[in-house]
Structure 1
Amino acid sequence: MAVDFRFIIIGRGMMGAAAARHLSSMADGIALIGPREPAERKSHEGVFASHYDEARITRTFDGNLAWGSFAARALDRYRAIEARSGISFFSEVGCLFAAPDKSEQDYIDRALTVSRTLGSDIETIASSDLSRRFPYLAVGADFSGYFERKRAGYINPRALVCAQAMLAEQGGVTLIEATATSVRDTGTHVEVTIDGRRYSAERVLVAAGGFSNFHALLPRPVDTKVMARTVVFYEIGEREMAVFGDMPSTIVLGDREEDHIYILPPVRYPDGKIYLKLGGDTEMLSINRLEDAGAWFRSDGSAAERDHLCRIALQLMPALAGCPVTSGPCVANFTPTGYPYVGYTQSPRIAVLTGGNFVAAKSSDELGRLGAVLLTEGRLGDTDFGGELTPVFA
């Protein structure tokens, strides 16, 4: 039978929009399905996405070659995407890692090895120079720094998704602003249901992030853990801008995993105010149902996690004292392999692209490209780390 589309991508987030853009240069007959960002978060009853934000750290410095490679490939395309779309989203302010000399050394050594493989320029900064070079940061005398000046900084995820979707549409992709509620392999094609209406396609890529298991989108659920995380926003004034205005993106590795923290430079948000955003590695709530995910995204996050992050923030950045503080929700979608999933399900017509493991924003353009390659070629090769990306199902 004739189908409505050759390919349908479900999920208009960072990976799905990127997949649609890449696929538009490989094939015709493509649809990208996903709702737009809700106007009122706290009253919204539908699905959400974690890219509703203004800043995410981007870097290639990583202790894993696959993740470092995904980031490097994506970073190398940022400027071309900006130029073609006319939308700026990448601020190349650099990224600083700071870590105690006796802690996390295995990760640092692996990251330095990966950086050499990728040709990334990482400057090692002795503990005696760290506070002088980066005076906004108050770390102990046993801390050393690892600074990636180029191909690092932060991206605006909202703007990146907008640019990807714009270029996809210019390439012939049909954008359908709605929520898909079911995907079914009929044996000859795939049917996607949206608000009672059905669309048919030869193949479907489900790129619904933490919501991939919450509708009937997959033949079997993927093995992921969707964990609630809290982010903190410090409202920055002129006094604080004099301290933090020129800072790079920053990741501080503490002695304990729960003390790790990432810090975004001051960024202007849609309310017109400038915020310094930070978050950590602690998960306090597992999300297993659609209604629980909605309730979390409508909240202000965890008060206990906010207080924990604020204690660390004020130790590391005393100049934040007295700044107004707010918090917000985010989710992390973890896989047992530690890698994203890019592969087919039990159906040869339904593929899945998910599992960001809380580090995929910077790599989303490359992961989207891999999703497009999977749809058109049916598999991923070794240079694309295809074996590592094989989905695991619950």
Structure 2
Amino acid sequence: RHLLKEGASKVVVVDGRAAGLGSSHADRARLLRSADAEGDATWSRRNAESLAAFEGIEAQAGRRFFTRCGALIVGPNEWVARAKGAAERAGAGGSLAEVSNVAERWPFLAPVEGCRAALFDGNAGYIEPLAMIEAFHAAASAGEPSSGALEVVPGVAAKVAAGEVELESGVRLTADHVVVCGGPLSRSLLAGSGGEAAQLLGGKGALRVSRRTVALLEVSEGTAAGMLAAMPTIKYAYNLPAAGGEGASGGEQSRVESGSVYILPPVRYPERGGRLFVKLGGGPNDFFKADELESREAVDTWLDSEGDAASAASLERVLRLLMPTVPFLGEAESKACVTTLAPSGDVEVAHAPGGGLSAVSACQGKGAGPADAIGREVARALTLRAKGKTADRGSDRG
């Protein structure tokens, strides 16, 4: 969509999920709020820009994907203040309000001792990722006077090169420029393509991929419509390691993840019998070995699984302690997810020296919600590069 706005005559999207490829975004809810959990003003800006754009995108596309339910951040004073400061530096602090008594406003919550600070963002909420992608495509088509400016092709890329993509079906697609956005599968695709493509993501340890487990706890229709009707999304830092300690070995993202969870209000999962679940994730990163990313097998196997049972059990304990009066139905169910991380803590855009091929990677575990803002940045960077200029972004290299 943003490439078309920048002047591209046609954009072809190769949709691997439509061809049966596993993906982390095949989910029903991802949260988004302006205040970044790691205190990064750049990510806070992206979050705020995307939140502000959703209404217009939904109107242009004629379909909804965003639910505004508010977002709550609960944890130690210093951590909450840092997140608030990041949003304020990004010019997105206007919707934030400090909460003096969490349990009074949301009686079903019982944060542990030490989590005395809380911040509420009334403009925040959650997206449905697959519906958002469909809306992006619909909005892109609606915004173009010429039909066919956007083409979505179901298929799995087998090999890429400057200006060319070969699908597993044998079909070859050609273009002025190829952009690889394969998440955890980018490494194997680029490595298997050889040539300049194999060098795009740097050395084997430059891009790290983490196994993540999501827990789903079912609630009844009555509970969802009753005691949890006003439940916001939640980021809950219940046991943050000290900065520079063992939990910080993977950077600030890993430190915060290891001692916190994110929680979604009740969301309906049609693929699970239409039942309602409170979803949560978090905990220590579990990185794939670099060699495992040279082929698709390890990631595909993980995404086909239900995640790690011990991680799911740990998440369930955290949620039941935080929400002790909520009558969850049965034990937690689980599913697998992955995140991609770079040392920079930011999205990485790399370009082949000879031109015609770029790769975008490193969602940092928080790239779904602000995808619109990220897409705008990347489209602008690619357009400027095509004109012989350089985008003003530290993560643009090549």
> What's 1:12 paired with?
none
Q: For 1:228, what is the secondary structure of its paired residue?
A: strand
- Unaligned ranges ≥5, structure 1: 1-20, 39-43
Are 1:277 and 2:279 matched, yes or no?
yes
Are 1:366 and 2:347 matched, yes or no?
no
- Unaligned ranges ≥5, structure 2: 241-255
Q: Which string of whole-angstrom CA distances, capped at 9 and with x for unpartnered residues, describes residues 8-67 of structure 1?
A: xxxxxxxxxxxxx111222203211122446xxxxx6xx322111111110110211111
Greater shift, 169-178 or 274-283, is seen at 169-178
The normalised TM-score by structure 1 is 0.84
Greater shift, 320-329 or 296-305, is seen at 320-329
Task: Give the partner amino acid of 1:58.
Answer: L
Are 1:302 and 2:308 matched, yes or no?
yes
Contact 2:76 2:117 in 1 (8 A): yes
> What's 1:133 paired with?
105
Greater shift, 48-57 or 210-219, is seen at 210-219
Q: For 2:109, what is the secondary structure of its paired residue?
A: coil
Contact 2:18 2:154 in 1 (8 A): no
Alignment of 1:234-249 (within 5 A): 234-241=217-224, 242-249=226-233
Q: Which string of whole-angstrom CA distances, capped at 9 and with x for unpartnered residues, describes residues 65-105 of structure 1?
A: 1111111111111111100111111111110000033xxx1
Contact 1:191 1:199 in 2 (8 A): yes
Contact 1:96 1:146 in 2 (8 A): yes
> What's 2:86 paired with?
114
Q: For 1:81, what is the secondary structure of its paired residue?
A: helix
Q: For 1:338, what is the secondary structure of its paired residue?
A: coil
State how far apart, in whole Å, the 2-side matches of 1:353 and 1:255 are: 33
Q: Which string of whole-angstrom CA distances, capped at 9 and with x for unpartnered residues, describes residues 82-138 of structure 1?
A: 00111111111110000033xxx1x43332222223132211122xx1210121211
2:120 paired residue among 144, 147, 153: 147
How far did residue 209 of structure 1 move? 1.3
Are 1:22 and 2:2 matched, yes or no?
yes
> What's 1:13 paired with?
none
1:158 paired residue among 130, 149, 159: 130
State how far apart, in whole Å, the 2-side matches of 1:327 and 1:333 are: 20
Task: Give the partner amino acid of 2:42.
Answer: A
> What's 1:182 paired with?
159
State how far apart, in whole Å, the 2-side matches of 1:115 and 1:197 are: 46
Task: Give the partner amino acid of 1:267.
Answer: V
Q: For 1:235, what is the secondary structure of its paired residue?
A: strand
1:81 paired residue among 57, 82, 85: 57
Contact 2:218 2:275 in 1 (8 A): yes
CA RMSD of aligned residues (A): 1.9
How far did residue 380 of structure 1 move? 5.2
Relative contact order (C-alpha < 8 Å, sep 6+): which is higher?
1
State how far apart, in whole Å, the 2-side matches of 1:58 and 1:363 are: 7
State how far apart, in whole Å, the 2-side matches of 1:338 and 1:56 are: 20
> What's 1:381 paired with?
391
How far did residue 169 of structure 1 move? 4.0
Q: For 1:212, what is the secondary structure of its paired residue?
A: helix
Contact 1:181 1:215 in 2 (8 A): yes
Contact 1:219 1:345 in 2 (8 A): no
Q: Which string of whole-angstrom CA distances, capped at 9 and with x for unpartnered residues, describes residues 255-278 of structure 1?
A: 235331110010111131111100
State how far apart, in whole Å, the 2-side matches of 1:339 and 1:380 are: 17
Contact 2:217 2:279 in 1 (8 A): yes
Contact 2:306 2:334 in 1 (8 A): yes
Task: Give the partner amino acid of 2:50.
Answer: A
> What's 1:34 paired with?
15
Are 1:348 and 2:328 matched, yes or no?
no
State how far apart, in whole Å, the 1-side matches of 2:121 and 2:181 are: 30
User: Runs ≥4 in structure 1, deviation > 4 angstroms?
Assistant: none
State how far apart, in whole Å, the 2-side matches of 1:363 and 1:337 are: 18
> What's 1:68 paired with?
44
State how far apart, in whole Å, the 1-side matches of 2:18 and 2:46 are: 26
Contact 2:184 2:339 in 1 (8 A): yes
Are 1:58 and 2:32 matched, yes or no?
yes
Q: For 2:238, what is the secondary structure of its paired residue?
A: coil
> What's 1:192 paired with?
165
> What's 1:262 paired with?
262
Contact 2:217 2:333 in 1 (8 A): yes
State how far apart, in whole Å, the 2-side matches of 1:82 and 1:318 are: 37
The normalised TM-score by structure 2 is 0.83
Q: For 2:112, what is the secondary structure of its paired residue?
A: coil
State how far apart, in whole Å, the 2-side matches of 1:88 and 1:249 are: 18
How far did residue 239 of structure 1 move? 4.7
How far did residue 319 of structure 1 move? 2.9
1:90 paired residue among 33, 54, 66: 66
Greater shift, 229-238 or 252-261, is seen at 252-261
Greater shift, 107-116 or 69-78, is seen at 107-116
**Distance change >3 Å, CA 361–CA 192, structure 1 → 2:** same
Q: Which string of whole-angstrom CA distances, capped at 9 and with x for unpartnered residues, describes residues 139-182 of structure 1?
A: 135422111112x1111111101111223344311221111111
> What's 2:199 paired with?
220
How far did residue 374 of structure 1 move? 2.2
1:48 paired residue among 22, 25, 37: 22
Contact 2:200 2:350 in 1 (8 A): no
State how far apart, in whole Å, the 2-side matches of 1:347 and 1:281 are: 41
State how far apart, in whole Å, the 2-side matches of 1:306 and 1:331 are: 14
Number of corresponding residues: 350
Q: For 1:244, what is the secondary structure of its paired residue?
A: coil
How far did residue 381 of structure 1 move? 3.5
